[in-house]
Amino acid sequence: MSDSLNAPRSTKVDDPPAKSGEPGRKKERSVWSRAFRILAGFELATICLLLLFAATFFGTIEQTHVGLYQTLQKYFDMEAIFIIPELKNGKIVPLPLPGTFWVCAVLCVNMTLGGLVRIRKGWKTVGVIIAHFSMIFLMVAGAVSQLSKKEGVMHVYQGDRSDYARSYTEPSIEIYPPGDKGERVKPYVVDSEHFSGLDTDEKLTIRLPEELSFDLVVTGFLR
């Protein structure tokens, strides 16, 4: 009898049908994985650090003739989407830079994904993880301070007491009603947000409480 009769016969089994939605899921996973690699990559971190270096360099030069506060508002404020650096003679540098607040936000996301999530965890990388966490903590603390802090100066003389603080950067209008015994009472304060956007030819009328027999008109405001 021929050996071919005793040989096991191979039967062709068709591949199982693909589940519905698998190509779409793979495509969706590939999109998310690609976005994750971009956000956690060294390339994005390098770009953010170079932008921060450029903003720090031009900001240091500009603050010598503009002042520290105005430079911080221009380069590091949340409302600064783009920055146009200027030199001492008023010459504009044709290099628009993104606002450093948002650059730090992107860098914070990058360091969280790349330095905390994707990094290999172990005793050999403890120092790297601590360094990344420290930088992330500093940037988050700076963002919270930028959004919520209020700074003021209180003058207290020796042997005296005070419950009054003054801001050197945010102007305000304060009206003190007359006290019964000539003492200073709690003032009515008009914050700068009400009149800081006025032009020199505009005026603003502020209605004061009835105990004050006048209204306040602000005009010709200059900052």
Domain count for the chain: 2
pLDDT the model gives residue 99: 92
| 41 is a domain residue | yes
Which range of residues forms the domain containing residue 215? 173-219
Specify whether 83 is located in the same domain as 127.
yes
Q: Is 88 inside a domain boundary?
A: yes
Residue 6 in any domain: the answer is no
Q: What is the pLDDT of residues 41-70, one digit of tens each?
A: 889 999 999 999 999 999 999 998 888 888
- Model confidence at 108, pLDDT cuts 50, 70, 90, reads very high
In a domain, 3, yes or no: no
pLDDT, mean over the chain:
81
Confirm whether 193 is domain-assigned.
Answer: yes
Question: Mind giving me the DSSP string for 99-167?
Answer: -HHHHHHHHHHHHHIIIIISSPPSGGGHHHHHHHHHHHHHHHHHHHHHHH----B----TT------B-
Whether 139 and 51 share a structural domain: yes
Where residue 6 falls among pLDDT bands split at 50, 70, 90?
A: low
DSSP for residue 221: -
pLDDT tens sequence across 9-27: 555 545 555 555 556 566 6
Specify the pLDDT at position 147.
86
**pTM value?**
0.67
Read off the pLDDT of each residue in 158-171 and give the average, rounded to a whole number.
Answer: 80
Same domain flag for 125 and 188: no
Q: Do 112 and 177 have their domain in common? A: no
